[in-house]
Amino acid sequence: MIHFADHELSRDAFLGGRLHLYQPKAGYRAGVDPVLLAAAVPARPGQSVLELGCGAGAAIFCLGARVADLALTGVELQPAYAELARRNAAESGLPFEIFCADLGALPAALRQRQFDHVIANPPYFRPGAHSRAVDAGRATALSETETPLALWVAVAAKRLAPKGYLHMIQRVDRLPEMLAACEGRLGAPEVLPLAARAGRAPELVILRARKGGRAAFRLHAATILHDGERHLEDGESYCPEIIDILRGGAGLSWPL
């Protein structure tokens, strides 16, 4: 499949309408996870950002919409999603370069470059850990095929400039793998758990690690996504900080 036909796509609003992205109607569709990932990155105008496995571009374009004058680059394995990312960038007016490539075989032009930030939302599930998705794009996005999680970290470390940051969102049960992959490659690891509600165990974490970082490991208190102990009525119940991120394009605060 080379591209998505227009009738296969929806045009969806992010950041309270500051950003609109085309996504497949029946396939992998970005939720809040890439928005939270983008919000966690302390990028500054003039810096460069690389997203590994960018899909249609939700995370990197949310970051580009929040922070002006970033040099945005993506890597995406599937040609249809890479083409969709190009279209989204053009229609959003964001400068963007994309490489359609496997993480294990990046083109020489990309291997010669380094970035201030690398972000990634790797597959959440190991092969066989969940029922197979009908859509091939969704299956690739949600479960590992040929690219182990450790390779995502290794590639990120190589592409980071000295003192550059990796930010990666992942399921909490994959945290040991991420930390092990950082050993000898990235330092100063920090983990921000994301819990649906107060009193519930976190299901996701955002990992921050720095090239050449020497600070000790830090495990922060969980960021709570929803108000209340349980969902009581139809509609959203996000906490005010999360609403500011999802609707206002705010950054995600890391505890000091």
The residue among 22 and 137 whose pLDDT is bigger is: 22
Contact 41, 116 (CB under 8 A): no
pLDDT at residue 230 greater than cutoff 70: no
| pLDDT tier for residue 27 given thresholds of 50, 70 and 90 | confident
Is there a domain that residue 143 lies in? yes
Range in 48-62, 120-134, 203-217, 231-245 with the lowest mean pLDDT? 120-134
Q: Which two tokens stand for residue 49?
A: 């950002």
Distances (CA, A) of 182 to 185, 239, 240: 5, 32, 33
Domain count for the chain, please give it. 1
129-147 mean pLDDT:
46
The residue among 138 and 45 whose pLDDT is bigger is: 45
Residue 129: domain span: 6-248
Which residue in the block uniquely carries the two structure tokens 């108000």? 227
Q: What is the pLDDT of residue 74?
A: 98
3-25 mean pLDDT:
94
| Gap between the Cα atoms of 43 and 161, Å rounded | 14
- Three-state secondary structure call for residue 115: strand
Q: What is the pLDDT of residue 141?
A: 45
Cα 216 to its chain centre, rounded Å, is: 24
Q: What is the pLDDT of residue 221?
A: 96
| Gap between the Cα atoms of 167 and 76, Å rounded | 17
Other CB atoms closer than 10 Å to residue 76's CB: what's the count?
24
CATH code of the domain containing 101? 3.40.50.150
Q: Which two tokens stand for residue 243?
A: 């609403």
| Reported pTM | 0.91
pLDDT at residue 137 greater than cutoff 80: no
Is there a domain that residue 256 lies in? no
Q: What is the pLDDT of residue 233?
A: 58
Q: Which two tokens stand for residue 31?
A: 């939720």
Q: What is the DSSP letter of 16?
A: G
pLDDT at residue 232 greater than cutoff 50: yes
Is there a domain that residue 217 lies in? yes
Is there a domain that residue 17 lies in? yes
**Span 208-224, pLDDT tens digits:** 999 999 999 999 999 99
Is there a domain that residue 1 lies in? no
Is there a domain that residue 222 lies in? yes
Q: What is the pLDDT of residue 144?
A: 41
Q: What is the pLDDT of residue 235?
A: 58
**Span 182-199, pLDDT tens digits:** 999 999 999 999 999 999
Is there a domain that residue 39 lies in? yes
